[in-house]
Chains A and B, each alone.
Chain A
Amino acid sequence: MADLAHGKPGAGAALSGGHGAASRRDFLTIAGNAIAAVGAACVAWPFIDSMNPSADVLAAGAPVDIDLSHVQPGQQIVVLWRSRPIFIVNRTPDLLKTLQDTKDISLLSDPDSDVLQQPGYAKNWNRSIQPQYLVLVGICTHLGCIPSFMPQANSVSPGWLGGYFCPCHGSRYDLSGRVYSGVPAPYNLPVPPYRFVSKTVIRIGENPPDGGDFSLDSIEQI
């Protein structure tokens, strides 16, 4: 815009008054509008950001300690962490055996836990730190219902070895939270960050000292 006002000396002299004024006005209008647009964008951010989790909500998501000593073999307890149900199962050797049933493994969608749905220290055949204790976020990866704990064989269908069954849309998981093929849920149940602070107490929400910086924010889907 500015070079229009300059141009060749002499040739534009007759026009320069009107032309220069017009371009100056255009420039000011455009500049004014641009600044106002930037201002509007800056104003929008506090409003958007105010809807993000607030400091108290984030603080309430601090790690929680759970004492496992009273969880009976074969029993599941559910605790709340960050307003989400966390499943903790004391798996008996019999239940653990089902996880290595080759016929059953062939029915799983992601038997080796390749999709990032668990911390590195739980990417193994039993998806846990100590095989005895399973720790899962109890939210179906389909549409967020809470799957039912169905450890009894044949309790869901003939040949059922025990696992989780989501009552909403029929998604099925085995006893390590691995999803079966052919159900609506796309991914294995997530494993939250956790560590053992003593033999029988786990801390949910904190990685083991050498466990990296896994967080649920980074997984494929909760």
Chain B
Amino acid sequence: MSGTPSTVRTNNRLVKWIDTRLPIFSFMQDAAMDYPEPRNLNYWWNFGSLAGIMLVIMIVTGIFLAMQYTPHVDHAFNSVERLMRDVNYGWLLRYLHMNGASFFFIVVYIHIFRGYYYGSYKEPRELLWMLGVLILLLMMATAFFGYVLPWGQMSYWGATVITNLFTAIPVIGNPIHTWLLGGFAVDNPTLNRFFSLHYLLPFVIAGVVGLHLIALRQHGSNNPLGIAVKGPQDQIPFHPYYTIKDMFGLGVFLIIYAIFVFELPNALGDPQNYIQANPLQTPSEIVPEWYLLPFYAILRSIPDKLIGVLAMFAAIFILFLLPWLDTSRVRSSYFRPIHKWVFWLLVIDVVALGTVGAHRPEGAYIVVGRIATFYYFLHFIVLLPLIGWFERPLPLPESIAAAVTKKSGVPSASAQPGAAE
């Protein structure tokens, strides 16, 4: 036998035989076991793998739900109820999927804020970050298509409102709108194509996740200190250290997820969606699912249709530019006394936008919505570049190993960032 012998560590001859010809085992060994990671990753780094697991859960439950679902306006609502009542464990599959969407977004939003706090988008990880933003966009589209499928009141009117955004485009807006719907209003052709796309996009997401991981491995994980790995003393192998840490984190996550699926399955949903879609009656209030509320609030805060739509999309697309809007030389906010606080302002701002998005645009909600929208863009376009220039970062530790072993002085990086404050 010529060629490179298998490097897989095993005495199993079959595994060695296969690995010499198809190196899947040594690939797994390199990628998921021996792969060196910074030794100081804290629990906020769990959310990347959690997001991957949520994607798998959503795809698997989705495939089994699709076996029971009928994408037709006359049957969609009833087929969803039928699958919950008559199909064995149908209620479980549906509630896993329905709440899974919310939990997928929770995990991904935390993952994004983590990346933002620790400067994980900075050179040389710009493309890693941008692929992540692309995943977020695809997730939003998938979630939107999926929400239409049960064909409840909020499904129908959500689809109507969101597709009408495209009519804001000058001149070609209306033809595009009709083309998207396959008709003059949301109807059976719309439902069919949304079902098709809802089934397709998760696999596109999986593909982009693959690219995201390739980009991640190119320069390795960032870490809470934001400083580069200088040598083996800064690193530990993925297995067993991060496999067990991820497993533990997964356990905690699944407990919370299970509480919602089994005890509060409809808490994150809208009661209106248990009323079958009625094209002749708009609900008194149309709200998207909670994870889209901040963007919905930006849309409504601007009293001009076209500019409102542009602002809403800009709020997401601006994230693509984050690596260049942040001018700081230091990655981790841990060493950035001003940015550390501005970060929390943004968190509060997004929560405020979410609150506004959930309420009718009247009274104080209009004012708060406009201020929050203004701050959102101010934050990224003005504050972020300026702070990078004027801020004086704290001195960085020599290396990860030095910071971890030296408990005095620079606090242990594996402690929670907030705990020291």
Q: Which residues of B contact A54 (CB under 8 A)?
A: 68, 82-83, 86-88, 90
- For residue B244, CB closer than 8 A to chain A, the reply is yes
Residues facing A in B65-113 (CB within 8 A) are: 67-68, 82-83, 85-90, 92-93
Kindly report which residue of chain B lies nearest to residue A56, judged by CB atoms.
B86
Q: Which residues of B contact A47 (CB under 8 A)?
A: 60, 64, 89, 93
A32 to B93, CA, bound (A): 26
Q: A47-B93, A50-B68, A51-B67 are in contact. Are A29 and B244 (CB under 8 A)?
A: yes
- For residue B247, CB closer than 8 A to chain A, the reply is yes
Q: Which residues of B contact A32 (CB under 8 A)?
A: 244, 247
Q: Is the CB of A55 within 8 A of B64?
A: no
Q: Which residues of B contact A49 (CB under 8 A)?
A: 88-89
The answer, among B67, B83, B89, B240, for a CB contact under 8 Å with A46, is B89
For chain A, the count of residues having a C-beta within 8 Å of the partner chain is: 14
Q: What does DSSP make chain B's interface, helix, strand, loop or mixed?
A: helix
- For residue A52, CB closer than 8 A to chain B, the reply is yes
- For residue A153, CB closer than 8 A to chain B, the reply is no
User: Measured between C-beta atoms, what is the minimum distance from A152 to chain B in Å?
Assistant: 44
Q: Which residues of B contact A57 (CB under 8 A)?
A: 86
A175 to B125, CA, bound (A): 77
Q: Is the CB of B247 within 8 A of A46?
A: no
Q: Which residues of A contact B93 (CB under 8 A)?
A: 46-47, 50
A-B contact count (CB 8 A): 40
A46 to B84, CA, bound (A): 12
Q: What does DSSP make chain A's interface, helix, strand, loop or mixed?
A: helix
- For residue A36, CB closer than 8 A to chain B, the reply is yes
Q: Which residues of B contact A45 (CB under 8 A)?
A: 89
A57 to B83, CA, bound (A): 11
For chain B, the count of residues having a C-beta within 8 Å of the partner chain is: 17
Q: Which residues of A contact B89 (CB under 8 A)?
A: 45-47, 49-50
A55 to B411, CA, bound (A): 60
A52 to B92, CA, bound (A): 15
A51 to B60, CA, bound (A): 13
Q: Which residues of B contact A29 (CB under 8 A)?
A: 240, 244
User: Measured between C-beta atoms, what is the minimum distance from A178 to chain B in Å?
Assistant: 38
Kindly report which residue of chain A lies nearest to residue B91, judged by CB atoms.
A46
Per-residue contact bits, chain A 30-51, to B (CB 8 Å; 1 contact, 0 not) = 0010001000000001110111
Residues facing A in B16-75 (CB within 8 A) are: 60, 64, 67-68
A55 to B89, CA, bound (A): 11
Residues facing B in A44-97 (CB within 8 A) are: 45-47, 49-52, 54-57
User: Measured between C-beta atoms, what is the minimum distance from A131 to chain B in Å?
Assistant: 40
Q: A36-B247, A56-B82 are in contact. Are A50 and B88 (CB under 8 A)?
A: yes
The answer, among B64, B83, B88, B240, for a CB contact under 8 Å with A52, is B88
Kindly report which residue of chain A lies nearest to residue B254, judged by CB atoms.
A39
A46 to B85, CA, bound (A): 14
Q: Is the CB of A50 within 8 A of B244?
A: no
Q: Quick one: which of A46, A50, A56 has the most chain B CB within 10 A?
A: A50
A54 to B68, CA, bound (A): 10
Kindly report which residue of chain B lies nearest to residue A52, judged by CB atoms.
B88
User: Measured between C-beta atoms, what is the minimum distance from B254 to chain A in Å?
Assistant: 9
User: Measured between C-beta atoms, what is the minimum distance from A163 to chain B in Å?
Assistant: 39
Kindly report which residue of chain B lies nearest to residue A32, judged by CB atoms.
B247
Kindly report which residue of chain A lies nearest to residue B88, judged by CB atoms.
A49
| 10 pairs of A and B residues whose beta carbons are closest in the complex | A46-B89, A55-B86, A49-B88, A54-B86, A56-B86, A54-B87, A46-B92, A50-B89, A50-B88, A50-B87
7 contacts between A and B (CB under 8 A): A46-B88, A47-B64, A49-B88, A51-B67, A54-B68, A54-B86, A55-B85
Besides A36-B247, A50-B68, A50-B87, 8 other CB < 8 A contacts? A29-B240, A32-B244, A46-B89, A50-B67, A51-B64, A54-B83, A54-B88, A56-B86
Residues of chain B whose beta carbon lies under 8 Å from any beta carbon of chain A: 60, 64, 67-68, 82-83, 85-90, 92-93, 240, 244, 247
